[in-house]
Amino acid sequence: MTAMQPIKDTPEIKPRKMDFPFSDVTEKFFYANNSIISTYMAALSGTFPPGEKGFIDSIRLYRDQVSDPELLEQIKGFIGQEGQHSYQHKQVNIALDELGLFATRIEKDLEKKITEDKGRLDSRDFLASTVGMEHITAVMAEYLLNNPHILEPLTPSVRELLLWHAVEEIEHKSVAFEVYQSCVGQRRRLHIVMGIQTLLFVWQVSLYQLSLLRWAKKVPSIKDVVGAAKFFLGKGGLARNIVGPYLDYFRKDFHPWDNDNRHLIDDWKRARGYSVETDLETIEKNSQYSTGAI
């Protein structure tokens, strides 16, 4: 076991209880009528509720071994935030079901797979997989917050859901890593598990996309393919722009807060008419899409 890297001056990790009106989601292919991008987003949303429950479970396995009071407080915030993410994505998944994109089927399938993984995986590997996925989600979150225009084709509720989710992923991006370093500390294991996890993640999401298209009886058009290629691989595309930050994970001295992007959290608050210093409870109380703090 290696010594835990000192926790830096990170943002407060405080759950926000949100309330998004997904009644504005009325189109099956809700992203610019593009079936490929829409099913990609729907597939990801379907994975979030069981995936985030798995993240919580992996942290709880080690919580009793953590003695640092600051990290224990961060774990509490992490669990609360991930619980809210799971709940809100369940709600949007229900809305997608009603339109013919059966995201809740993905939830059930992945929940079964994660339950099986919990039974066969070493708890260290289970936690390591959470650390890796938390890095992937943090990298994707940074991309969205730096490129909010990419979400313009979405309805306001889905756009705000993704931006809020992204902000909180950045707020708690080091928690699983700190728990792992404190309780396990095997960096090589992190790298091996991340490599395997990445391949499985890409493969599984692709299969879920294909299932969503098949269930919707939709064959993507040439226009869909061109639009998706630009979305993922274009100059400002998602896949093209997250490769570098993703690979940082494999550095021997990597720490999530080496990339200090706290300003993105502040920008998100300012964009909603609040100063950086505004108390979060006030923000949540007055936000168009929220109902107060947990």
Predicted model pTM: 0.89
Query: pLDDT tens digits for 181-231?
Result: 999 999 999 999 999 999 999 999 999 999 999 999 999 999 999 999 999
Give, in order, the Cα–Cα distances in Å from 29 to each of 41, 114, 185, 219, 286: 10, 28, 44, 12, 31
Q: Looking at 25-29, 103-107, 163-167, 275-279, which range is the least confident one?
A: 275-279
Look-up of token digits 């879920």 = 208
**Conformational region of residue 33, where left means phi above 0, alpha means psi within -120 to 50, and beta covers everything else:** left
Q: How many CA atoms lie within 13 A of 276 on its CB side?
A: 7
pLDDT value, residue 188: 95
Query: Please, what is the average pLDDT of the chain?
Result: 89
Q: How confident is the model at residue 4 (pLDDT cuts 50, 70, 90)?
A: very low
Return the closest-CA partner of residue 134 out of 294, 13, 283.
13
Return the closest-CA partner of residue 185 out of 193, 174, 177.
177
pLDDT value, residue 117: 85
* 178: pLDDT strictly greater than 80: yes
Query: pLDDT tens digits for 225-253?
Result: 999 999 999 999 999 999 999 999 999 99
Sorted by where each begins, the domain ranges of the chain are 25-260
Share of the chain above pLDDT 70, in %: 90
Contact at 8 Å (CB) between 163 and 170? no
